[in-house]
């Protein structure tokens, strides 16, 4: 308690942590709470805090609970505000009309986002607010943001997790107001040219035209990367280039985030301040530093709008705004307090961002760097002041190395949890690519923005393109090194939470008790390493099944394609790059597949004609069709109805018993998840389920 009281000035730093706990509590609930739970809890805690305001520690606990309640209410309110129609199943082909709000260039076509949609022969209230479609046919005319178009399309609801614990696209789509995804079956026909009277539509169209212009000025992958850095449109970057950047640990350079916003603002700030300093009368009488901060903030705001105003970019701008405001008010520009208030603003504005990888990784990196430079900053400033050019250059290179190392360590748990891969040589690649981006690419990008109105942007784009080409060459070279990528099996959210809290404990406190955070991190690592991967996975439609063998190899009961998101997710979560093929263990035909390993047999049924044979010999029957009779040999039967209720299913075979986990089991009955129907037991013993189907038709 004495150590806690000694760090009283650090207490406010935990406000976003407890606020985030309230957000996490909302998303962890199995059912959607009534609307009055959030505001009611906040009101009750405010009253209690007022009545007990003189009770010291009791008041402190109530204030912490009030922050938890505020986070819960913010998430609940946000979920209600974005509510809209979502398709309940596959629909189409049907005629669909809507207004184009975004056109994304993809390596193999275009992707449209349509708002204010209408579906033929359907009531307007059933039409989703936002539909995202992939075009299979090239449009006859250039598509313009704001145009109202008509086309035939096949639509589906946003997909749930591909496996229990995997990324929930349906939840992310709910908060983006996407009610359907799909693909076009016909060419797009413009039925009403858009007037583009709204500012957002004009910005979106200008952004699209600028991306096309940049790709025309710098052809190939260089132009695609330049468009990504200047407009946020990464759709045209070839998949091979993206893979090289991921394997080299440079993918963060392509995602507009705090690095890019900070560089644009930083170069504007120092450039404007240097220019104003060259005017002696102005430099001596006017607060040119504050003017430069205001101009830099304005430029960063314009860059945020131009790059799509995504949540990560908004978050980066909020943090930058606090920094520039501190400069204008003569306060310390970089501090934990400013970081905490930026996190509070983000969590209140977009609570769902707590679950996003961009929020987690960016704040983890900034927290780690702030903690390190809070202690080393004064020492490095003294070294810099006492040294010459050579010493300053060495100090800069050491700072780049330290920054890259700390940021990599701080973000590693989140990268492993979400992507299951670590770039082993990322430090070496970043030592070249990050300074090149900061000192050459982004300054020329800023110059290109300034020259665009005069048609002289080619002057800046050419040197920018050479640097991008060098970065891509580094990525390709590093990605080709042996052992460039290490794959890690998926681990639980509990392990990630323990590591995150341990890291916060270590970074936010100053006393010796902070080292308890290291113990928490080590405990989280132990939890992650002791994970229990499933033996078998089957998708929610019964189209694919995969099995993990005792030697770690993965067999897939479907033709494997790299662009199959479900199969790629399964392999990644098992820590595998490619599936194996062993016809002695798994044999497949048009009716299904059979798997035999360790004295256990599994039947994967695609056609009802295969049921009779599998029900006589298989210990476990996984059926894409309903099973309406008992299976004599089966310890457990999972049929089409189970998959419909529970989504993708993971099966673990332990000590003679079978444990079943469905992707929908932990999602609960929430607005972004489908009704689950009657639930079945998670664990079935080898005797209780013998010869029985878990489906209603047994």
Q: Can you give the residue range of the structural domain that contains 379?
A: 244-487
pLDDT of 684 reads 37
Spatial separation of the C-alpha atoms in residues 114 and 18, rounded to whole Å? 37
Say which range, 164-168, 202-206, 428-432, 561-565, has the weakest mean pLDDT: 561-565
User: For position 693, what pLDDT does the model report?
Assistant: 41
What is the pLDDT, as a whole number, of residue 503?
Answer: 96
Q: Does 217 reside within a domain? A: no
Q: What is the pLDDT of residue 328?
A: 87
Between the alpha carbon of residue 266 and those of residues 11, 216, 423, 437, 694, the distances in Å are 30, 28, 29, 13, 61
Same domain, 96 and 27: no
Residue 229 lies in a domain: no
Is the pLDDT reported for residue 690 higher than 90?
no
CATH assignment at residue 135: 2.40.50
CB-based contacts of 599, cutoff 8 Å, min separation 6: none
For 6, the token pair is 């000694």
Mean local confidence (pLDDT), 234-262:
88
Considering the domain architecture, whether residues 389 and 499 belong to the same structural domain is answered as no
Burial track 561-581 (b if 16+ CB lie within 10 A, e otherwise): eeebebbebbbbbbbbeebee
Question: Would residue 211 count as lying in a domain?
Answer: no
- What confidence tier does 298 reach under pLDDT thresholds 50, 70, 90? very high
Please, what is the average pLDDT of the chain?
A: 86
Read off the tokens for 562.
């790299």
As a whole number of angstroms, the distance between CA 211 and CA 231 comes to 6
pLDDT at 417: 94
326 lies in some domain: yes
Confidence check: pLDDT of 226 > 80: yes
Residue 86 structure tokens: 């979502």
Both 59 and 130 in one domain: the answer is no
Q: Which of 103-107, 118-122, 404-408, 664-668 shows the lowest mean pLDDT across its residues?
A: 103-107
The verdict on pTM exceeding 0.75 is yes
With a cut of 90, say whether residue 395 has pLDDT above it: no
pLDDT score of 14 more than 90: yes
Share of the chain above pLDDT 90, in %: 45
The more confident residue out of 464 and 147 is 464
Average pLDDT over residues 339-345: 88
Of 118-127, 380-389, 638-647, the poorest mean pLDDT is in: 380-389
* CA–CA gap between residue 363 and residue 376 (Å, rounded): 20
- Please list the residues that pair with 588 across neighbouring strands: 593
pLDDT for the residue 696: 34
Average pLDDT estimate for 669-697: 47
pLDDT score, position 394: 78
Beta bridge partners of 163: none
**Which pLDDT score is estimated for 434?**
87
Based on the domain organization, do 481 and 502 belong to the same domain?
Answer: no
Of 159, 180, 195, the residue that ends a domain is 195
3-state secondary structure of 591: coil
pLDDT attached to residue 680:
36
User: Are 473 and 507 part of one and the same domain?
Assistant: no
Instruction: Using the predicted structure, report yes or no on whether residue 194 has a pLDDT greater than 50.
Output: yes
Q: Is residue 234 pLDDT above 90, yes or no?
A: no
pLDDT band at 586 (very low <50, low <70, confident <90, very high): confident
512 with 459, same domain: the answer is no
Roughly what angle, to the nearest 10 degrees, separates helices 220-231 and 199-217? 150
pLDDT tier at 694, thresholds 50, 70, 90: very low
Query: For residue 670, which of 33, 1, 10 has the smallest C-alpha distance?
Result: 33
Count, residues in the chain: 698
Q: Among 113-117, 133-137, 661-665, which stretch is predicted with the lowest mean pLDDT? A: 133-137
Give how far Cα 135 sits from Cα of 94, 147, 194, Å: 15, 16, 20
Q: Which of 658, 665, 609, 668 is nearest to 638 (CA)?
A: 658
**Interval 447-454 mean pLDDT:** 93
pLDDT of residue 514: 92
CA dist., res. 237 & res. 145, Å (int): 21
Write the DSSP symbol of residue 190: E
Is residue 436 domain-shared with residue 422, that is, in the same domain?
yes
pLDDT (mean) for 161-170: 92
The answer to the question of residue 237 being in a domain is: no
Q: Are residues 117 and 151 in the same domain?
A: yes
Domain limit, last residue, from 487, 518, 547: 487
552 and 508: one domain? no
Residue 318 pLDDT class (50, 70, 90 cuts): confident
Instruction: Please tell me the predicted confidence (pLDDT) of residue 197.
Output: 61
Residues 100, 76 share a domain: no
As for how many domains the chain has, the answer is 5
Question: Residue 76 — very low, low, confident or very high, per pLDDT cuts 50/70/90?
Answer: very high
Percent over 70 (pLDDT), the chain: 93
Query: Do residues 63 and 118 both lie within one domain?
Result: no
Mean pLDDT is lowest, of 57-71, 189-203, 537-551, 597-611, for 189-203
Task: Work out the average pLDDT over 140-153.
Answer: 86
Closest by alpha carbon to 39, among 64, 17, 69?
69
Assess contact for 91 and 100: CB atoms under 8 A.
Answer: no
Say if 382 falls within a structural domain. Answer: yes
Tokens 């050479």 — which residue? 466
Question: Per-residue pLDDT for 150 more than 80?
Answer: yes
The residue out of 426, 457, 487 marking a domain boundary is 487
- Per the domain annotation, does 227 fall within a domain? no
Identify whether 178 is part of a domain: yes
Q: 373-402: string of b/e by CB count within 10 Å (b at 16+)?
A: beeeeeeeeeeeeeeeeeeeeeeeeeebee
In the predicted model, what is the mean pLDDT of residues 494-507? 96
Whether residue 35 is found in the same domain as residue 108: no
Q: Give the separation between CA 148 and CA 114, rounded to whole angstroms.
A: 9
């Amino acid at each position: 308690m004495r150590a806690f009281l000694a760090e009283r000035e650090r207490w406010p730093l935990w406000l976003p942590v407890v606020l985030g706990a309230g957000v996490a509590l909302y998303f962890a609930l199995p059912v959607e709470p009534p609307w009055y739970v959030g505001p009611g809890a906040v009101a009750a805690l405010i009253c209690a805090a007022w009545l007990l305001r003189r009770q010291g520690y009791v008041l402190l606990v109530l204030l912490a609970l009030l922050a938890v309640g505020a986070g819960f209410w913010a998430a609940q309110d946000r979920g209600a505000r974005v509510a809209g129609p979502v398709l309940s199943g596959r629909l189409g082909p049907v005629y669909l009309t809507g207004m184009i709000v975004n056109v994304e260039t993809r390596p193999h076509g275009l992707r449209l986002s349509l708002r204010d949609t209408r579906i033929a022969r359907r009531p307007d209230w059933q039409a989703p607010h936002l539909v995202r479609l992939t075009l299979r046919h090239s449009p006859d005319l250039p598509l313009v943001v704001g145009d109202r178009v008509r086309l035939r399309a096949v639509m589906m609801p946003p997909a749930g997790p591909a496996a229990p614990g995997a990324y929930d696209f349906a939840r992310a789509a709910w908060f983006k107001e996407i009610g359907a995804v799909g693909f076009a079956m016909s060419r797009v026909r413009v039925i009403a040219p858009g007037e583009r009277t709204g500012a957002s539509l004009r910005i979106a169209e200008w952004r699209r035209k600028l991306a096309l212009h940049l790709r025309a000025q710098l052809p190939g992958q260089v132009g695609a990367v330049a468009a990504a850095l200047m407009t946020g449109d990464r759709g045209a970057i070839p998949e091979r280039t993206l893979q090289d950047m991921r394997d080299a640990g440079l993918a963060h350079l392509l995602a507009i985030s705090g690095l890019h916003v900070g560089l644009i603002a930083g170069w504007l700030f120092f450039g404007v301040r240097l220019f104003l300093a060259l005017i002696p009368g102005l430099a001596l009488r006017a607060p040119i530093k504050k003017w430069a901060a205001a101009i830099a903030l304005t430029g960063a705001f314009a860059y945020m709008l131009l790059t799509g105003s995504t949540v990560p970019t908004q978050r980066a701008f909020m943090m930058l705004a606090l920094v520039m405001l501190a400069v204008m008010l003569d306060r310390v520009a970089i501090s934990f307090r400013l970081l905490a208030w930026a996190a509070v603003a983000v969590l209140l504005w977009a609570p769902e961002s707590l679950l996003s990888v961009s929020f987690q990784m960016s704040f983890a990196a900034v927290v780690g760097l702030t903690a390190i430079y809070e202690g080393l900053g004064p020492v490095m400033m003294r070294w810099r002041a006492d040294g010459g050019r050579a010493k300053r250059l060495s100090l800069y290179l050491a700072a780049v190395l330290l920054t890259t190392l700390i940021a990599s360590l701080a973000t590693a748990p989140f990268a492993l949890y979400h992507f299951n891969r670590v770039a082993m040589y990322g430090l070496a690649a970043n030592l070249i690519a990050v300074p090149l981006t900061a000192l050459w690419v982004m300054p020329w990008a800023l110059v290109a923005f300034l020259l665009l109105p005069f048609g002289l942007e080619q002057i800046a784009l050419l040197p920018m393109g050479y640097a991008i080409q060098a970065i891509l060459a580094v990525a390709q070279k590093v990605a080709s090194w042996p052992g460039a990528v290490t794959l890690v099996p998926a681990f639980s959210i509990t392990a990630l939470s323990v590591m995150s809290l341990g890291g916060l404990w270590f970074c936010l406190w100053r006393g010796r008790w902070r080292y308890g955070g290291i113990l928490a991190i080590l405990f989280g690592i132990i939890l992650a390493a002791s994970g229990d991967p499933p033996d078998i996975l089957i998708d929610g439609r019964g189209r694919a099944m995969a099995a993990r063998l005792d030697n770690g190899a993965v067999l897939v009961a479907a033709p494997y394609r790299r662009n199959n998101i479900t199969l790629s997710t399964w392999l990644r979560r098992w820590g595998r790059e490619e599936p194996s093929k062993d016809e002695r263990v798994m044999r497949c035909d048009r009716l299904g597949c059979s798997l035999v390993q360790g004295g256990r047999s599994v039947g994967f049924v695609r056609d009802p004609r295969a049921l009779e044979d599998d029900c006589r010999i298989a210990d476990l029957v996984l059926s894409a069709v309903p099973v309406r009779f008992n299976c004599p040999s089966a310890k457990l039967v999972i049929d089409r109805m189970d998959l419909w209720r529970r989504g993708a299913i993971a099966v673990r075979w332990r000590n003679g018993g079978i444990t079943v986990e469905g992707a929908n089991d932990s999602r609960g009955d929430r607005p972004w998840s489908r009704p689950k129907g009657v639930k079945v037991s998670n664990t079935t013993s080898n005797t209780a389920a013998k010869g029985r189907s878990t489906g209603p038709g047994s």
